[in-house]
Structure 1
């Protein structure tokens, strides 16, 4: 592989005009295919085989008029009552005339008649309708406000309109990347080369993802997650290769030979690291939950694209930027004295460093013991937002359980009275509606209002009790039931998923490093980093903000972080191995390697952290959680694992780190990496 990558880079850099034309042609083809044959991203959060999914399927089939999403307009007054209020009547009449609205329910009033709401039914999901319906609801709210009423809004239609229109996360990440790359390279040209190559590869990945949407249902969040991962990983990969390329230029090599060496060494590391990321994220297919698996596959497509772009597009641009990339001062690409001195301190007292770093990671992970899975709702939104006001008013007027109703769906038409009676007698139920019959009279649905809030564990207990007591073919659905079913399914598949991801990654690393110990300790390092990141998320969101963690978020974080942590692991370990094969002692190989790639890893980690932190400003609490979790994990991995624990453990392992039984050496495929004789052209 190293030979092939080297020859590819030498040809691309030596004939960059031809190569650039090929890159442009490929992008045009992918873009055309995406525009003409690409599909749309959808939100289909199905969990096959669960009772809540059976309820959803029954409602979708038998109640087609209610297949779209809804919005709720909430009215409140401090004096008098809302009964027969002309402003509310005018609001309802105006909303009925709006596009895609199929109906507006009669005004429902609280016991004191000072709080009321209208439910607006739409003909399509919020994702399909985009921002316009929610914006129209915001405009029509002025009718009630001019009459002195407090008007607030909530529901999927409103949430869609409240999403950020500008790519704030990406822009923050790019701004930080420009600053960090300029400081590391001390060259505007090298910074531009890295960014341009990364963005071209990222664009190709997103276009491929859109084209793939024609063949499978990728969730609407897939492009956001793909950009989040692809931007950070793409810049990291390009940073490593460009750093090695400039080292060779400073040593006096030609442009073509420098590109060849960079691609056959650092480029091979990038391919190996990217492969592990793809394996880890695509491993989400093992969960058995379609939208989770497709989210993983979508992200894997983008990461694979940026990894391929790093070893194809980047060498092409190396040739185009050749005159401006050679360092004016060779010292700028020389081994870092600061990182070399730091590594020397670690290798002198490796046991102390390893124990201290591990204790810090364990301490950061401790809050995970109090992890509480749940579904954040509008009650977790910032005070003063329209969704939070609506949530609080509905809880005040109709009870805390009103914000998390359960849905009973059944095609057992002979048991409707029995169903209602059994539900009303179940402890924890505040109200059961009369049955709503389907147009063909072949199904019915009830609304059950719990006495407790959606995030209260007692509401989950109520779901279980209802399922135990209701007649046959009566399915309990609703947000709480769906989340509980999803969490149970994830828990049942989690051991398989973790074993698959870790097992495949270890085998791949064994093939790359020809070692048993390096893959095993690498997996252990990653697990410690992930545990620490979980601890930070629990501490910030659950403890600090009283926001439960969505059940699939830890799963996503594990897949993504296990893969991304391996990036920095491969960057460091490959350079350690290269120095070791050149004849350095274990201590010297660690010191030299960290001196060479320490600042690259630190810079890459800073960029990746900034990209992820940019998504903390997103109004969606799931995006916030993932952004903070990934950012904290990368920061922890770089500062503690790669700079302290990994060098210390590699020093303690000594020569044993690179031992591999002969039978295993024969069984594993040969993948030459940095430092292998066949990987370094003369």
Structure 2
């Protein structure tokens, strides 16, 4: 007798791999003792939550950019003139009726600002040409990351109370208010509700639909506790938990869905719940393990960005994805065993017959019959979508793209209208007076084209540093601002530092654009190696990497159109187009490459099962696509729903990630996975499974007409 599988009984069995055998035993044990498994996960969740409450830390951003000229300038100021090295804020006071702002009111506000914790100095109020607007620049001696929650914003708002009491409008800008993010929750709720609806439609049972969601939430709970503990020993960005939740929720539901779908196939085939759980864990669980490891491997690429904030994204997402992956392969079998046949729709409980969605089988056969036009058309579509990415321009997010309802956006607009666009993002020129004449440096900077104003020089109390504040004539996100940074650096003598917000933004954009290619090379190489080792098919691994690169490139192109053009920006609720946030491409690539591998692994695992069982290279592609089409479509729909929820976030960086990831998954699960991958595999035939040093022989003769009755 052959080994019983969800496709039936194989007359020519192939040896079960050690990992699959181990997963079979683990899944069977979890299903045989479901209450013990549930109790163990409950204890893990409670322990992670309790430890986080007792010993966990709070998220803290680290915006240092090691090795850049701006960072060298910041370190110089921290050593010589700490009062000029910290955070900044702008308090904008505006008379709503166009009248002059009273000097006494401004003096009261400035006095209160000067007495705030961490404030080093408050510049004299700067009045607009018509006198109805005043700008008070606040310099802190501490970095912006020292502020917790709303404390920095609340302090600024409290200090400005005399102006509001006088009937004046007060808006807050600068790094302190701009660094504050309002607590989320809406995006997660939208994604969860949408995912539940899709699960009900895909599985046909409320019990089966709720199970993947419950498993994902348990994994997220453990991941949140781990992130809190990580925050106690290292800096974890305030945005990192949001990104980790975005990715963890999507993959957690997908992994659990794959296992539940395979388990219900076993029930339909007549297996007992415990046996069905063991079989699902050995087969679909292996796919989950490979897919999850690929995502984790991809996250290692964030470390190569050399930016501490990116490392924190990797740590947080790694912890969350690891937790949901382990929950999927252990908790799903236990819950499936407890649910029994209630996982099946009522009609299926009686008939216990799987009904193949006919369109998937017909579509798979059509693609395999005409692989050349299918591959050409899908490749052309992907290249067309990717083409705009060649014009992508990146720049750190600024307040100009924030919603008009926020104070930072209103302050940005007021400053730009009353004092010029460059007043929203200045740069600092710092020099050692003993090595360079500050007056001569100021004259050289004033002569640089594109400089609107230069304030100073101001020499520190000990005379160790002289500082100039340089205001560009262009807006922060204008590409001419980055060019101005280079011109100012070229104009000053050696040893003079050009730092401050504008220079730091330019250096961040340059560093991330440069490191993106290093990250891409590392992630692709490591993923190909992992996939080759696990599938023992180097051709398939290389092809998978190429397909994933195409889908990510297409998503980059769509993001470029939506965020850089005015027409695209208005479609997604932004006031106008602007550069893509510098933080997005590296983070988006590492996460998306891993997620794209998920669907590739889901498909290839089933194709490989069929190939080993039948030896029919083309037929196995058709049957594999027919078998996985429904699950991949449902999983992708869930992922798109989750990411679309995050696309509603007002934070532009989170919005960009949500839009980009939703687009990439949609493209990947349709154009790539349902057309390009099967077409190219049909063209390659047996060469897909070539292994160096030996023939790619299958254990049995082809059975081209056999279509598996089950969906993974």
Aligned match of 1:340 in 361, 367, 371? 361
Aligned to 1:218, the other structure's residue is in SS state coil
Contact 1:70 1:155 in 2 (8 A): yes
Indicate whether 1:153 and 2:176 are aligned. Answer: no
1:13-92 equivalences in 2 (<5 Å): 13-65=31-83, 69-77=87-95, 82=100, 84-92=102-110
Asked if structure 2 preserves the Cα contact closer than 8 Å seen for 1:413 and 1:444, the reply is: no
Aligned to 1:391: 412
Q: What aligned pairs does 1:286-365 form with structure 2 within 5 A after superposition?
A: 286-322=304-340, 324-330=342-348, 333-365=354-386
Q: Which runs of 5 or more residues in structure 2 are unaligned?
A: 1-18, 567-575, 697-712
**Offset of residue 38 of structure 1:** 2.5
Partner Cα distance (1:641, 1:80) in 2: 58
Measure how far apart 1:322 and its partner are: 2.9
Q: TM-score, normalised by structure 1?
A: 0.91
- 2:658 matches 1:658: no
- Does residue 455 of structure 2 align to residue 436 of structure 1? no
Question: Which residue of structure 2 lines up, in the alignment, with residue 674 of structure 1?
Answer: none
Q: 2:123, 2:444 → 1: CA distance?
A: 27
| Aligned residue number for residue 463 of structure 1 | 485
1:597 Cα deviation after fit: 1.6
Is the Cα–Cα contact under 8 Å of residues 453 and 472 in structure 2 kept in the other structure? yes
| TM-score using structure 2 length | 0.87
Alignment of 1:70-469 (within 5 A): 70-77=88-95, 82=100, 84-92=102-110, 104-121=122-139, 125=144, 128-135=147-154, 137=156, 144=163, 147-160=166-179, 163-322=181-340, 324-330=342-348, 333-383=354-404, 385-415=406-436, 416-469=438-491
- Please name the residue that 1:559 is paired with: 590
Report the counterpart of residue 11 of structure 2 in structure 1.
none
Distance 1:283-1:79 versus aligned 2 partners, 3 A rule? closer
Contact kept, 8 Å, 2:269 with 2:353, in 1: the verdict is no
The alpha-carbon deviation at position 567 of structure 1 amounts to 0.2
Corresponding position of 1:593? 624
Partner of 1:675: none
Q: 1:603 aligns with which of 634, 637, 658?
A: 634
CA offset at residue 144 of structure 1?
4.0
**Secondary structure in 2 matching 1:452:** coil
Segment of structure 1 superposing worse, 461-470 or 188-197: 461-470
Aligned to 2:538: 516
- Indicate the residue corresponding to 2:667 in structure 1: 636
Q: How far is 1:623 from its partner?
A: 1.2
Deviation at 1:176, TM superposition (A): 0.8
Note closer, same or farther for the CA distance 1:185–1:423 as it changes in structure 2 (3 Å cut). Answer: same
Q: What do the CA deviations read for 1:108-138 (whole angstroms, capped 9, x no partner)? A: 1123323211234566636733125435655
Aligned equivalents of 2:97, 2:42: Cα separation in 1: 67
Instruction: Return the alpha-carbon distance in structure 2 between the equivalents of residues 23 and 546 of structure 1.
Output: 46
Q: Deviations over 1:270-296 (max 9, x none)?
A: 110111111112112122222223322
1:28-53 CA-partner distances (Å, limit 9, x unpaired):
33333333333332111211111100
Give yes or no for contact 2:23–2:286 (8 Å, CA) kept in 1.
yes
Equivalent pair of 1:375/1:480 in contact (CA under 8 Å): no
Distance in 2, Cα, partners of 1:511 & 1:11: 27
Separation in 2 of the partners of 1:587 and 1:135? 65
SS at match of 1:427: coil
Question: What are the superposed Cα offsets for residues 627-681 of structure 1, whole Å, 9 maximum, x if unpaired?
Answer: 111110001101111111112111111122112123799xxxxxxxxxxxxxxxx
User: Greater shift after overlay, 150-159 or 334-343?
Assistant: 150-159
Q: Map residues 476-555 of structure 1 onto 2, 5 A cutoff.
A: 476-544=498-566, 545-555=576-586
Please list the CA deviations of residues 242-300 of structure 1 after superposition, one character each: whole Å capped at 9, or x if unmatched: 11011111212122211111111100111101111111121121222222233223212
Tell me which moved more, 304-313 or 23-32. Answer: 23-32
Partner of 2:16: none
1:72 is paired with a residue whose SS is strand
Shift of 1:156: 3.2
Which runs of no fewer than 5 residues in structure 1 stay unpaired?
Answer: 666-682
What is the CA-CA distance between 1:344 and the residue it aligns to?
A: 1.8
Whole-Å Cα distance in 2 between the matches of residues 273 and 486 of structure 1?
32
CA distance in 1, matches of 2:390, 2:33: 57
Instruction: Give the SS at the match of 1:582.
Output: helix
Deviations 1:436-459 (A, max 9, x none): 333443223221112222222222
**Alpha carbons of structure 1 residues 231 and 384: separation in structure 2 relative to 1, 3 Å:** closer
**Distance of 2:97 and 2:203 partners within structure 1:** 66
Closer/same/farther in 2, CA of residues 348 and 195 from structure 1, 3 Å limit: same
Partners of 2:638 and 2:512 in 1: CA distance: 32
Change (3 A) 1:226 1:646: same
Counterpart residue number, 2:573: none
Q: 1:84, CA displacement in angstroms? A: 3.3
- C-alpha change, 1:332 and 1:448, in structure 2 (3 Å) is farther
- State the partner residue of 2:5: none
Distance 1:655 1:470, change over 3 A: same
Corresponding residue for residue 676 of structure 1: none
Go from structure 1 to structure 2 and tell me whether the alpha carbon gap of 1:552 and 1:124 turns closer, same or farther (over 3 Å shift). closer
- Structure 1 residues 88 and 59: CA distance shift in structure 2, 3 A: same
2:572 alignment counterpart: none
